Amino acid sequence: MISESRCPVEDGELLVRRGGEGPALLLIAGGTGSGDSYRALAKQLYADYTVITYDRRGHFGSTDTTTGPVPVPLQADDARAVLDHTTDGPALVFGSSAGAVIGLDLVARFSDRVTTLVAHEPPAVHLMPDAGGWLEAAADQVRLARSGELMTAVTRFADAIAGAALPDLPNLRLPHEADWIRLFDRELTEFYDYLPDLRALRKARTEIIPVAGEGSRGHYHYQPAKILALELGLPFTEMPGAHLAPQRNPAKFAVALKDLLSAEAA
């Protein structure tokens, strides 16, 4: 049984879904912010966890009355609000891509709310020695989207991600166009500009598990998790699949995720 509720946040309201039984596990979405992007993964986890998902502010079923850039700390405040809305104590958290960046800020500022964070391929490019090129690529995508070339921006965005390239079809229609526009116009630069607070993360009581997919080797989104593990003096773990494995290989990914979480709980 999946229940839906509305979680009030500053200048908005979030659509929250909850299902399953067991310890609370919050899944933070990346990409265009849909909690439903984890629907198949959540189904694999319901027998072991109370799985909580939500649409990020301004995306899909959630609202946002602000204008301008949406900073990562505000997104992390939202994640904390969801935890306060759905749980009585600290919870497990999984975030992929931008969701992992949000999870890192959540732990840096509210470590008492998170027992374990699995950070899957956070695009924390400022940790990389060649950050400048990736920041410029993101800036180009934003410029394209703002100038009316949204499909070109999305194509370049997807081409850089392991296993995410769009099919080469004429007149391909882009689904959820408004959510893509919001990502490029108000969020993408904020995610790429975010530098995790390494000092706060080192002091946090939370167990932090930086991970990346074996299919992402050689791609930019593989490196930050590996560097983060080095910076924090933590093990780095490879997961099955590539960047979109939580969506495209949910059964195999869920097994690996449960193994990680069980090892931390032991």
- Indicate the pairing of strand 207-213 with strand 237-239: parallel
pLDDT for 174 equals 85
* Neighbouring C-beta atoms of residue 90, cutoff 10 Å: 18
Length, in residues, of the chain: 266
pLDDT for 266 equals 62
- Mean pLDDT of successive 10-residue segments in the chain (266 residues)? 95 98 98 97 98 98 98 98 97 98 98 98 96 96 97 93 72 86 98 98 98 96 97 98 96 98 79
pLDDT for 19 equals 98
pLDDT for 66 equals 97
This prediction has a pTM of 0.97
pLDDT for 165 equals 72
pLDDT for 168 equals 62
- Indicate the pairing of strand 12-20 with strand 3-9: antiparallel
- Indicate the pairing of strand 207-213 with strand 3-9: unpaired
The candidate with the shortest Cα–Cα distance to 241, out of 152, 126, 161, is: 161
pLDDT for 163 equals 78
Helix (H) / strand (E) element for 39: namely helix 39-45
pLDDT for 226 equals 97
Q: What is the pLDDT of residues 130-165, one digit of tens each?
A: 999 999 999 999 999 999 999 999 999 999 998 787
pLDDT for 49 equals 98
pLDDT for 39 equals 97
Cα dihedral 104, 110, 114, 115, rounded to 10, equals 100
The candidate with the shortest Cα–Cα distance to 94, out of 122, 119, 124, 75, is: 119
CB of 94 within 8 A of CB of 257? Answer: yes
